[in-house]
Structure 1
Amino acid sequence: MIALGWLRNAATLIGALLLGGLQAAQAEPAPLDGSEQWLMKSAEGRDYRIMVSLPEGDVPYTGGYPVIYIIDGNALFPAFHAAKRVQERWKGAILVAIGYPSDTPYDFNRRAFDLSPPQPAERNDPPQGGQDLFLDFIEKRLMPKVNERFKVDQDQRSLVGWSFGGMFGVYSLFTRPALFQHVVAISPSLWWRDRYLLAHERAFTEQAHTGKLDLTHTSLSIWAGDREMPQEIQDVRALQRRLENLSQYGLRSDFQLEAGEDHMSIPFRVTTRVLEELLTTRRF
């Protein structure tokens, strides 16, 4: 009886240990094959979580891999990474998703600051106005690290953003048009702060008309879901129509309305088509 009791106790202990080990294993973050993660800081000390979908195969004939930078990386990186890896023809691309050290898809306070223009003090809650600082981080810290880590095709840099991130993408085109050759703005919040982007659009258009911009290899693709607010659809359609006037200087622009999608669902619905558009663009 003593031996039987000992065996029962031992079995219980072993089971507990095994269960504990299983629970510990289940608590570990699941890595994504073919990816790596960096933790970086901006010049102001803000922390960023960078998720990278690694290129596979030989360096392309251009001498470098195309790079797609993705805003809201915590939410969007897994879908884009998986969509890229299942297509053999896209495996030679690098995806660099910019997120935050958080376990939530969207860190609303951080993205509110990084992706928005300055606000009056009485409306600056949560804090906003960091879009130029965020662009500085991408241009002066993140891009150099990517260039150091990989052979990059400097003529194939793209930016993908949704909602505030789409608004940020349009802002980057208007204010730093040489930073990315291609911008995809999914459901951009063009209405934000009384359509503040209109002033930047006018300045951008004026520079193009006076010959101060080379837009020969520049494109903007705008997407929206047909279940979004009617005025939001109208705004993005109107922007694309106005930018068609700059096609004479090389700017390519298009607008696509996605059937059956709303503001929250559309970035995940169009993932494959966005990659198709960006990774089949030819420069020569």
Structure 2
Amino acid sequence: MKAFTIAKVQLLILLLISIIARSQDISPVKDSLFSAILKETRPVNVVLPKNYDPAIQYEVIYCLGDIPDFLNVEWSLLQWEGFIPKNTILVGIPDFVRDGVNMRERDLAPTKTSANTGEANRFLLFFRNELMPYINRQYHAKSGGHTLYGGSMGGLFVMYTFLTAPDLFTSYVAIDPSLWWDNFYLHKLAAEKFAHRDTLNNTLFIAGREGAAYQFMGVAGMDSILKAKAPAGLDWKCVQYSNETHYSTNFKGFWEGLKFSYGGFYASTGGYPTSRKIAIKPDNGIVLRNKPFKLICYNLAADAYLHYTTDGTTPGIYSPRITGEETPITIDKDAKIIVTSMGKRKEYNKSASAFFQVGEVFPAAAMPAGSKPGGLRYKYYEGNWDTIPDFRKLKPGETGIATTDFNLNKTSKKNNYALVQEGYIKISEPGYYIFEMGTGNEHTKVYLNNRLILGVHFKADEGESFMVPLEKGFYPFRINYFHKKNGNDLQPVYLKTEGQEDFPLPAAMLFSGK
């Protein structure tokens, strides 16, 4: 059974890769340019995103050693999942062969150890003065924000470029780099450069193989130097991959390296994978003075890139960090919380906000006489209203109890209709409770203790949430659902309690009342 399940997962992955590959035209544009610096015509392969628009400026991922098929697919998936922007292009720089001799070590090695080696400085000039200006003109690239990626000797050149010309690229991705070159020459260069540089504004991702390879490739030594001397402002990471080959490290390394490079531009696990939102909740509520509550954030890597303030000011790099999915916060007065992402590409930084009032625990009551568990009492109305009508002036077309199997959308979506559900909600434990509703409920109103808590700050593409401190007991509860003709399906109201995931309000918590 387990083997069958794994096989199914692998098949689904292959199908997904196939779908993504077909959805994106990943056939490279074959191009070339003559280099006066190198005194040769160099081929370049350019992969453009689907719906490429010359009116838009693009960031470039420069790939040393050309663009293998797996990289095309990973690049497409990274965009599709919202880990990197869609306005990126791939530029592959194939190895150059002259008279049957591969010039890879000539171009990529920083020092000369034999014939046809050690001209990385000239290759870097080719990048800076010829290749990058050409790509900027020909394919409408931005002036900055680009990434340099390479493995093995390509990784060596990535590190050499980072150390000698860090401002040329925003991000550097070196996979199992050949840092052993010339008796670990780049180790000495790194120590020298870091000693004379206080700050950097780059990301650096280095991946190697676990075990002896991590040592003899020179990655372990570079990791130690970075730990001791990395300048402020450099976001860097060294990882070790187990059970991988020198080449297969690229599969993981490109994926993780690009995600790291675009830290602050990442997917949300709150249901908006490609919408570039910071997904926090609750976004409104009442809290007790100096009684901690938890701000929930569904963004990946939130603790690395999200900072917040509680006084309504814009967060800075020294503001407190979001500490994972749940961040404890304490306030002693009404507060506007602002959460901001902070990556190396400031144009992608985003913000979200939440507002909390300091108040008291909502008082509960004993179980009302005549109340029965199993669901709220409902009344159903039809009409041609543009907004929620005054139900006191209308006669319901249907009444009953909204039990577990009650369907909010049993009526045709072509009609305007409203549902009023009311009764009581039973709270079994005191604490903070988050009520929430998602898309489809833009006209819905929710009342607790006769106070409107949802339907005030609704966002059509996000929904709305409200937190309130409750004690053990019963609370009057009412939901006014309103469905407009041809609108989206109505969705149930959800509840989140401390230590539990969100769940639709269960009928067992709801009492019909008289």
Fold match (TM-score > 0.5): yes
One-letter code of the match for 1:82? Answer: V
- Alignment of 1:225 with 2:209, yes or no, is yes
What is the TM-score of this pair, normalised by structure 1?
A: 0.73
Residue of structure 1 in register with 2:176 after alignment: 187
C-alpha deviations, 1:174-223, integer Å up to 9, x for none? 111111111111111111111111332123112214xxxx51x2121110
- Alignment of 1:116 with 2:109, yes or no, is yes
One-letter code of the match for 1:94? Answer: I
Deviation at 1:258, TM superposition (A): 1.4
1:7-156 alignment, distance < 5 Å: 33-43=26-36, 44-57=38-51, 64-73=57-66, 76-86=67-77, 87-88=79-80, 89=82, 90=84, 91-100=86-95, 109-119=102-112, 123-125=113-115, 127-156=116-145
Which aligned segments of 4 or more residues in structure 1 are displaced greater than 4 angstroms? 245-248
For structure 1, the 5+ residue unaligned runs are: 1-31
More helix by share: 1
Deviation at 1:279, TM superposition (A): 4.0
Report SS of the residue matched to 1:255.
Answer: strand
One-letter code of the match for 1:150? Answer: Y
RMSD: 2.6
Whole-Å separation in 1 of the counterparts to 2:44 and 2:191 = 33
Distance change >3 Å, CA 269–CA 250, structure 1 → 2: closer
One-letter code of the match for 1:124? Answer: S
Higher relative contact order (CA 8 A, sep 6+): 1
Share of identical aligned residues, percent? 27
Q: Does the 8 A contact of 1:53 with 1:95 survive in 2?
A: yes
Distance change >3 Å, CA 277–CA 56, structure 1 → 2: farther
Aligned length: 234
Distance change >3 Å, CA 49–CA 218, structure 1 → 2: same
Deviation at 1:163, TM superposition (A): 0.8
Of the two, which has the highest radius of gyration?
Answer: 2
* Range with greater deviation from structure 2 (243-252 or 259-268): 243-252
Distance change >3 Å, CA 251–CA 279, structure 1 → 2: closer
What is the TM-score of this pair, normalised by structure 2?
A: 0.42
Deviation at 1:81, TM superposition (A): 1.7
One-letter code of the match for 1:273? Answer: E
Deviation at 1:101, TM superposition (A): 6.1
One-letter code of the match for 1:221? Answer: F
One-letter code of the match for 1:278? Answer: S
Deviation at 1:49, TM superposition (A): 1.8
* Range with greater deviation from structure 2 (35-44 or 240-249): 240-249
Residue of structure 2 in register with 1:259 after alignment: 242
1:270 to 253, 263, 277: 253
One-letter code of the match for 2:130? Answer: R
C-alpha deviations, 1:231-277, integer Å up to 9, x for none? 236x3133123223455521111111112102122113433333323
Distance change >3 Å, CA 269–CA 247, structure 1 → 2: closer
Distance change >3 Å, CA 248–CA 226, structure 1 → 2: closer
C-alpha deviations, 1:85-114, integer Å up to 9, x for none? 244245421111111466xxxx97210110
Deviation at 1:156, TM superposition (A): 1.3
Whole-Å separation in 1 of the counterparts to 2:130 and 2:103 = 18
Deviation at 1:35, TM superposition (A): 2.8
Whole-Å separation in 2 of the counterparts to 1:100 and 1:189 = 16
- Alignment of 1:236 with 2:226, yes or no, is no
One-letter code of the match for 1:83? Answer: E
For structure 2, the 5+ residue unaligned runs are: 1-24, 265-342, 347-514
Q: Does the 8 A contact of 1:47 with 1:101 survive in 2?
A: no
Q: Does the 8 A contact of 1:227 with 1:260 survive in 2?
A: no
Q: Does the 8 A contact of 1:227 with 1:262 survive in 2?
A: no
Whole-Å separation in 2 of the counterparts to 1:176 and 1:248 = 15
Q: Does the 8 A contact of 1:36 with 1:52 survive in 2?
A: yes
One-letter code of the match for 1:45? Answer: K
Distance change >3 Å, CA 101–CA 244, structure 1 → 2: closer
Report SS of the residue matched to 1:152.
Answer: coil
Whole-Å separation in 2 of the counterparts to 1:268 and 1:142 = 26
C-alpha deviations, 1:158-181, integer Å up to 9, x for none? 101111111111111111111111
Whole-Å separation in 1 of the counterparts to 2:210 and 2:32 = 37
Residue of structure 2 in register with 1:10 after alignment: none
Q: Does the 8 A contact of 1:227 with 1:261 survive in 2?
A: no
Whole-Å separation in 1 of the counterparts to 2:119 and 2:224 = 29
Whole-Å separation in 2 of the counterparts to 1:194 and 1:280 = 33
Q: Does the 8 A contact of 1:55 with 1:65 survive in 2?
A: no
One-letter code of the match for 1:80? Answer: L
C-alpha deviations, 1:15-68, integer Å up to 9, x for none? xxxxxxxxxxxxxxxxx7453121223223223221111134577xxx732211
More strand by share: 2
